[in-house]
Structure 1
Amino acid sequence: MDDLHSVTPERPDPYRWVIVLSASAMLAVAMGQLVNGLSAFFTPLEEAEGWSRADVALINSAGLIGLALGGIAMGWLADRVDTRKVILTGALVTGLCVTAAGFATALWQLYALFFVAGALGGGALFAPLFALVGSWFRTGAGLAIGIVSAGQAMGQGGIPFANALLIESLGWRGAFVAIGLASLAILVPLALLARAPRRAGPVAAQVAETLPAVPTPVVVALMSLGVVFCCALMSVPLMHLAPLVELCGASGAEAGSVVLVMMIAAIAGRVAFGKLADMIGALPAYLAASAWQTAFVFLFVRIDDISLFYLFAPVYGFGYAGVMTGVLTSIRTLLPAKRRAGGSGIIIAFAWGGHGLGGWLGGLFFDATASYELTFAVAAGAGVLNLTVILLLGWLVIRPCRGTGTRMADGLAV
């Protein structure tokens, strides 16, 4: 059966688009919950349980720490066992843990459940799915990764909005149960579609790679440092935009709809920046997206009208969305295939760690100042540090090309 799907460079297997679309949908469901789906629960948990905003934000941080640690282990495992089994495990654990959150009776239980959901759920989905998609594409990987990343953006906009509606109808406990059961119904069948490409005979020979003359440990170290700052910035609007809008007198559903509008724009942005990476190179595209989110993030706290949030959120969302596409395409470009899974796991672990740190600090700063001014200012500062790291990495990449006649894009294109 698999032989029917053997591919050649001249005749790519059309099943690769099944892989792309199923991966996109799975990440929409799973990452929508683990990255920022909890933002709709901030106010309800504060009011119902009396927990502080920092305490509630730490639930999300626990999930992201689990996602960071689990991503390293599950990425390593996915290279050595059947990828479908790893992905199916992630689908089951994600749905079961979110369902169980509806029955939690103490804050520590939510910390534990989201940590497990991140480590064995999202960790078994994120890196393995992107690695699987990359293995199906020899050319045009930027666009494919952009489409999968766009699915994640769709979930990060749709899940918080759906959670807000579910909370209004079912309460916070019922919302967790409903979204958890829905996740099982969606993720498990999609996980069964996952499989690695089959290449037979001489076609299996690997195409020679053209990589920048920068040692892999240097690339991993610099990208890991950069994504800490990058994702600390990114997490602030994702986790705190909805409660910021609520401070302007909006309802939970209205605040969730602002995030939804931002993430709808992000869907287009992730695809666009994936295509941009194919055109100008992965690292330049990553730099452009990072500069976009750094320049605009602080403007959120200068808005005090719901209609202006609806106008500005998609502008920010289109550009910020290219950051994750840029990270993933840069990893694929700058690391050799034989070290890509391990290096990717480490870099993405730092990314999720930065995401968790930024979300928690945002809540902590709000508790200390009763304002989001400091939260968004620190986010912008983190963005500047990330840009510094990207520029340093770019300088290291192009430096060996001087005097050789090699075009910059040759070392950076996907």
Structure 2
Amino acid sequence: MNITSRPVGLFYGWFVVAAAFAITFIGFGSAYTFSAFLVPLQAEFGASRGSVSLVFSLAGFLYFGLGVLSGPLADRWGSRSLAVVGMVLVGLGLALAGMARSLTEVYIAYGFGIGLGVGLSYVPVLGTIQRWFIRRRGFASGIAVSGIGVGTLAMPLLAALLIESFGWRGAYFGLGGLAVAVGAGMALLIVNNPRDRGLEPDGDPVQVGGQFQPLKGFAVAAAIKSSRFIGLYVACLFCSFGVFVPFVHLVPYAMDHGVVPNVAVYLLAVIGFGSTAGRFLLGGVADRFGRRLTLLAMYVGMAFAMTIWLIASDPWLLMVFALIYGVFYGGWVALLPAVVMDYFGGRNVGSLIGILYTSVAFGTLIGPSAAGFAYDLSQSYTLPILASVCANIIAVVVFAGTSRELHARDQ
């Protein structure tokens, strides 16, 4: 007869979730302030909207693309040290961007600081969350990545206040200090695996005298050749061409339609509010009704929201778009890591999430900057918004086809 011992007090997995929340809050919150800086950077350096947008695209390409390296490193060495270094790099990159004397220097400082910093921390902490939870994996992942939503809600407003008070350079210095103090400090709470603390996932009782079984899951080579992974990858690739366009261009779009800057930046906060709600609520819904079908609904929802943006010109309709888009975008981000864990197991989850996010990296590199250059040519955002709608529709078709086939095969 096995004797079990039940951990006393709050399950440590929730401290890991809190650390992941703080890291995503700081990392992505800092990145998504960029729309508030776009017009000041244009004015400072006399640059086109497309060339300034490329700053964000380069950073996004790096922080999503670097997961292909940081994920395997975290699987081998753990996530804590990578997350600490990443948050320090975010702070340093923001501070150096505040000292930049040319747009090229902003590319280097912001692109590499935010890009490398978030890239070293994001995928590793998401992979860690998947190991700490089984039954409540979607909910825990939703809380962890809701830091992105809360960061999108709070950080652009903070950036706008800092820009108004201290100018864009002073704002970057302030955000950099916050990144190091909060982000790196909270990263120290991360523990890579519940077994490192003698615990089981979800806080289940530990078998006294028993031995932990090795983590199960696919080998990386086998996983990435599977129809499941290919379907996920292609759907994410198409979706990502449009998914980050609002984070760069919604504020200048609103200003082009007569919305004053201080009100326009609130649209990012509305996306953040909707995103936070989506991450908290839809992760739990997916745990109950199925993460595969819920992820499909996220692609449909983002396509629908983009059609609203296509016809929106007044502040209220723009806020409706921002709220709806935020909910479905937030759910998409929350569900991707959990679906990877569901499909392929925990043995190489960090590596597989990192490889999957290279699709998001390529989409982020192309989408926001292409939207900016399209605006420079036509003085309109109609074409890039319409392209974003079409990209999400393609993602729906790809993911629906592969998931339907796989569901039938699994029966």
Same fold flag (TM > 0.5): yes
Among candidates 33, 37, 42, match of residue 37 of structure 1: 33
Displacement of 1:346? 0.7
Displacement of 1:170? 1.5
1:313 maps to 322
2:213 maps to 205
Displacement of 1:51? 0.7
1:387 maps to 396
Residue-by-residue CA offset, 1:145-193 (whole Å, 9 max, x unaligned): 0111211111123222222222122211111111111111111210111
Displacement of 1:9? 8.3
Show the 5 A alignment for 1:86-125: 86-125=82-121
Contact 2:67 2:353 (8 Å CA) reproduced: no
Distance 1:41 1:301 in 2: 24
Q: Residues 123, 251 of structure 1: CA spacing in aligned structure 2 closer, same or farther, 3 A cutoff?
A: same
Tell me if 1:67 matches 2:74: no
2:382 maps to 373
Distance 2:44 2:5 in 1: 58
Show the 5 A alignment for 1:232-381: 232-381=241-390
Residue-by-residue CA offset, 1:52-91 (whole Å, 9 max, x unaligned): 1111110011111211332111111111224211111111
Contact 1:226 1:389 (8 Å CA) reproduced: yes
SS of 2:66's equivalent in the other structure is: helix
2:141 maps to 145
Output the amino acid matched with 1:373.
Answer: T
Among candidates 25, 33, 45, match of residue 49 of structure 1: 45
Contact 2:305 2:321 (8 Å CA) reproduced: no
Distance 2:165 2:213 in 1: 56
1:411 maps to none
Distance 1:116 1:207 in 2: 34
Contact 1:102 1:174 (8 Å CA) reproduced: yes
Residue-by-residue CA offset, 1:255-294 (whole Å, 9 max, x unaligned): 1112102211211111211112201222111101110110
Higher relative contact order (CA 8 A, sep 6+): 2
Contact 2:148 2:272 (8 Å CA) reproduced: no
Contact 2:45 2:102 (8 Å CA) reproduced: no
Displacement of 1:341? 2.1
Q: Residues 199, 138 of structure 1: CA spacing in aligned structure 2 closer, same or farther, 3 A cutoff?
A: farther
2:203 maps to none
Distance 1:320 1:16 in 2: 25
Residue-by-residue CA offset, 1:333-360 (whole Å, 9 max, x unaligned): 1113223222211101211321232111
1:217 maps to 225
Contact 2:152 2:271 (8 Å CA) reproduced: no
Contact 1:165 1:253 (8 Å CA) reproduced: no
Residue range with higher mean Cα deviation, 246-255 or 193-202: 193-202
Distance 1:10 1:390 in 2: 40
SS of 2:135's equivalent in the other structure is: coil
Distance 1:231 1:117 in 2: 22
Distance 1:208 1:8 in 2: 24
Contact 2:306 2:321 (8 Å CA) reproduced: no
Q: Give the count of matched residue pairs.
A: 393
Output the amino acid matched with 1:324.
Answer: V
Output the amino acid matched with 2:19.
Answer: S
1:27 maps to 24
SS of 1:202's equivalent in the other structure is: coil
Output the amino acid matched with 2:400.
Answer: L
2:206 maps to none
TM-score by length of 2: 0.90
Tell me if 1:81 matches 2:66: no
C-alpha RMSD over aligned residues: 2.3
Output the amino acid matched with 1:130.
Answer: L
Tell me if 1:17 matches 2:14: yes
SS of 2:324's equivalent in the other structure is: helix
2:178 maps to 182
Q: Residues 207, 181 of structure 1: CA spacing in aligned structure 2 closer, same or farther, 3 A cutoff?
A: closer
Percent identity between matched residues is 26
Off by >4 Å, runs of 4+ in structure 1: 7-13, 206-210
Tell me if 1:191 matches 2:187: yes
Residue-by-residue CA offset, 1:289-333 (whole Å, 9 max, x unaligned): 110110121321312222332344213322232111222221111
TM-score by length of 1: 0.89
Distance 1:400 1:8 in 2: 39
1:131 maps to 127
2:202 maps to none
Q: Residues 207, 12 of structure 1: CA spacing in aligned structure 2 closer, same or farther, 3 A cutoff?
A: farther
Distance 1:254 1:166 in 2: 15
